[in-house]
Amino acid sequence: MEACCSDLEVDINGEETIFLNKQIICAYSGTLRKLLGKSTCSNGNFKVIFNDFPGGGESFELVSRFCYNNGRFAVMPSNVVFLHCAAKFMEVTKVLEQTEKCMEEIRYWAWPEVLLCLKQCQEVETSPEADSLAAKLMDALVEKLCLTIEMSPSSAASACSPDSSLFRFSCDSKSTESFKNSSVRFTWWFDEVLVLSPGLVETFLKLMVSRKFDNLIISRFLFYYQKVKFCSASSHEKRKILETIIDTLCVLDRSCVPCKSLFGVLRLALGLNINKICMNKLELMIGHQLDQATLDNLLVPSPSKSSHLYYVNLVLRFTKAFLDGERGGLQLKKVSSLIDQYIAEVAPDPCLKPSKFLSLLSLVPDSARESHEEIYRAIDMYLEAHTGLTDGEKLNLIRTLSYEKLSGESRAHISHNPKFQAIETLDEQQQQQPKQLILRMEKVEISGDNEKLKEHIEGIQWRVMELERACLKMQNQMEVIKKRSKSSSKGSNRSLPKLCS
């Protein structure tokens, strides 16, 4: 903007230069009056540099036009944000009076007008006024959305159906277009809200939750938001988006958040190194729905620094979260079956430590297992892949089996399985102890058709083996007590004072 008597040059953020008439602009702007009142310029020409002017040259020019038109300037939703922030910066009181009056009518604005103003708030984020304006606009946006959904109950009901395909979309244009066409009456606002920054989306979601907006709709928007935004986001942006999604999902009704989708978020989160608090929230959410998970869901590769094939600690935490919920019955049995499948899958891993494998075996209460077939096969595979285990480590694993919960076929197999035979060797020091009780289980071959006798004898063999384990455990405990006793005796001897002869 250049007037006939342009004696004031204004540099806007180093991007644009505007020439103005000092007298006209200073009649309205308190900021310029203060700056130029201190000037000692002798030739009558002045220059002002603004480095952080909100909205740049566009908003400065709007305020300048207001001043040049002697206050006769239409303030409307399309320019109110830029005008308000620029007027606040330049201390143009008359503009502020009109922008504030315009904002009072925000409830009567159309959805596109509110959304446009929110986009403009992102462009004036350096202004102290940006946050308060965004809060008012966001409140109005959510209110309009709530009213729209309330007026369309039929669309909401159809979208809440279990058969709804709103989760089946990706970043490609075909599936996105299909998604919009199938539920346009219900999800029309999804793409429009995506123009907002992650910070404003987070505010939007918090308001949606506080207004008790349909949790299923929020959940679907979150997964759509992640799918679309991840196509072009940087690692930092992806991390921020994912943390916002997790923080919102964890306050929604559990039934509105599909377990499968949570595992999708988990795989993304593991690759982005999100903050620990968010990761804990995600693990708890998955743990609470573990009865809905599948074996493929649980087979998460181990972190790069770990030697394990699969992320066993993660499954341990999931199961603990589920069990802490004190759920039983069918849900517990489903989780027990799932964990047994997982144990069988990870058993051949040569890097899986016996203590970690034992943690998996003893993870769910035995009452939840109707059969020990799966864990018998898992232990058999584990012993096959880990031939260097100590007798104590083997016993700890075998002790988790219950003979009564094995089939007749497995009982017959275990009695002839060399990996499950009674331990023949003991520590050399233990063998020298007097009154030592060692039970040995002999193989019994049964010929003929007397299957009941065969099963009975196999049962006796199993119980003999259990007695042997108990004896070994007692011997180990006695050794520990004896060593402690000797150590205590030596300590007391050292403390005795020497007697003088």
Q: What is the pLDDT of residues 454-474, one digit of tens each?
A: 555 556 656 666 666 667 667
d(CA 254, CA 436): 58
Mean pLDDT of 142-151: 84
Tell me if 203 sits within 8 A of 118, measured CB to CB. no
The reported pLDDT for the residue numbered 250 is 94
The reported pLDDT for the residue numbered 382 is 94
Mean pLDDT of 74-100: 94
Q: Is the pTM of this model over 0.85?
A: no
Instruction: State whether residue 214 is helix, strand or coil.
Output: coil
Instruction: State whether residue 183 is helix, strand or coil.
Output: coil
The reported pLDDT for the residue numbered 109 is 94
Q: Which residues contact 138 (CB under 8 A, 6 or more apart)?
A: 118, 200, 203, 204, 207
Single-letter code of the amino acid located at 30: G
Maximum average pLDDT range among 166-175, 185-194, 315-324, 408-417: 315-324
Q: Which of 33, 30, 59, 29 is nearest to 46 (CA)?
A: 33
d(CA 218, CA 146): 12
Maximum average pLDDT range among 29-38, 171-180, 200-209: 200-209
The reported pLDDT for the residue numbered 4 is 53
Bigger pLDDT: 40 or 234?
234
Largest separation between any pair of C-alpha atoms in the chain: 124
The reported pLDDT for the residue numbered 41 is 60
The reported pLDDT for the residue numbered 40 is 57
The reported pLDDT for the residue numbered 125 is 86
Tell me if 319 sits within 8 A of 290, measured CB to CB. yes
Share of the chain above pLDDT 70, in %: 75
The reported pLDDT for the residue numbered 8 is 87
Share of the chain above pLDDT 90, in %: 50
- Asked if pLDDT for residue 440 goes beyond 50, the answer is no
How does residue 209 score in pLDDT terms, banded at 50, 70 and 90?
very high
- Asked if pLDDT for residue 436 goes beyond 70, the answer is no
- Asked if pLDDT for residue 404 goes beyond 90, the answer is no
Mean pLDDT of 274-289: 96
Bigger pLDDT: 326 or 367?
367
d(CA 93, CA 33): 13
The reported pLDDT for the residue numbered 315 is 96
The reported pLDDT for the residue numbered 306 is 76
**78, two tokens:** 């399309």
The reported pLDDT for the residue numbered 463 is 63
Q: Which is it for the CA torsion 181, 184, 187, 190, positive or negative?
A: positive
CA dihedral 345, 347, 348, 349 (to 10 degrees): 100
- Asked if pLDDT for residue 325 goes beyond 50, the answer is yes
Mean pLDDT of 349-357: 93
Mean pLDDT of 2-23: 81
Mean pLDDT of 211-237: 93
Q: Which residues contact 183 (CB under 8 A, 6 or more apart)?
A: 155, 158, 159, 164, 166
Mean pLDDT of 38-52: 75
| Three-state SS sequence of 381-402 | HHHHHCCCCCHHHHHHHHCCCC
How does residue 89 score in pLDDT terms, banded at 50, 70 and 90?
very high
User: Worst-scoring range by mean pLDDT, 73-77, 328-332, 351-355, 362-366?
Assistant: 328-332
